Amino acid sequence: MNKYFLIKLTTLIVIALSILPQLTFAQNTISAEELIGKGNPQLFGEGYKLREEAYIAFKKMQAEALKSNIKIGVVSSYRNFAHQKRIWERKFKSNQTKGLSPTINIDKIIEYSTIPGTSRHHWATDIDIYQTNVKQPRGLLLESNFHNNGAFCKLKEWMDIHAKDYGFYLVYTDLPNRKGFKYEPWHYSYKPLSSQYLKAYKQLDIAKILKTDKLLGSKNLTKVFITKYSVENILDINPEFL
């Protein structure tokens, strides 16, 4: 009886171990709809939203930073397509009132903001952060706040040392030859998930997808433009994600 039970138990363990990599991979997959912000991912967090694995890692990082008297707050996390579209159209209309041509308008927007359907924030793995327990500057997400004697310089120094221990990496670095979006010392991504999602995203036909969405300035989002945007804005990031 004991021998039979042992054989059966061993068999079950072998089967479980054989499918474990598949289960792990399944947790890291993401639908095409979710990649472009049109899915319905399960989200976690209060005042911000992340995928469960990223949320757990972030909470651990928050707790560790607090030991150094640094309270990490989140300005932005998950954004769906509709949210990103509102940001895009608000900026597009604002630039129009300043007399910018559609081409210059779009170039101005993509210094910091993404075209809806192309944002990493759609994946619920990325966060824009600041420090809450210091005197708050007028504008939170400004490069000057994170360096020298800026309000969040201690946060940046702590993140430089510890963030990777929790899986969070800076996306838009200050490497001198990097193109695309400008340097964002506040934007971190949970690499164990987002690096996998980026691989999946690269398989999508973004030009074709964007044609179906009536965005302001969409006539200027040509295939040539999207190809350049993909190379410089989507892929010219921290090479540790690639």
Task: Give the H or E element holding residue 24.
Answer: helix 2-27
Distances (CA, A) of 18 to 22, 23, 26, 27, 45: 8, 10, 14, 16, 33
pLDDT value, residue 212:
87
Categorize the per-residue pLDDT at 152 as very low, low, confident or very high, splitting at 50, 70 and 90.
Answer: very high
Categorize the per-residue pLDDT at 56 as very low, low, confident or very high, splitting at 50, 70 and 90.
Answer: very high
Other Cβ atoms less than 10 A from the Cβ of 236: the count is 18
**C-alpha span between 133 and 72 (Å, rounded):** 8
Taken in order of first residue, the domains within the chain and their CATH numbers are: 42-79+120-192 (3.30.1380.10), 81-118+202-237 (no CATH)
The model's pTM is 0.88
Q: What are phi and psi of 166, to 5 degrees?
A: -110, 10
**C-alpha span between 85 and 210 (Å, rounded):** 12
**C-alpha span between 193 and 29 (Å, rounded):** 9
Residues 6+ apart with CB under 8 A from 204: 32, 35, 36
Nearest to 193 by CA among 169, 157, 158: 169
Mean pLDDT across 188-216: 95
pLDDT tens per residue across span 153-171: 999 999 999 999 999 999 9
Q: Nearest 5°: CA angle at 174, between 172 and 175?
A: 105
Average pLDDT for the chain: 91
Mean pLDDT across 13-22: 39
> Is the CB of residue 122 less than 8 Å from the CB of residue 84?
yes
pLDDT value, residue 18:
43
pLDDT tens per residue across span 85-97: 999 999 999 999 9
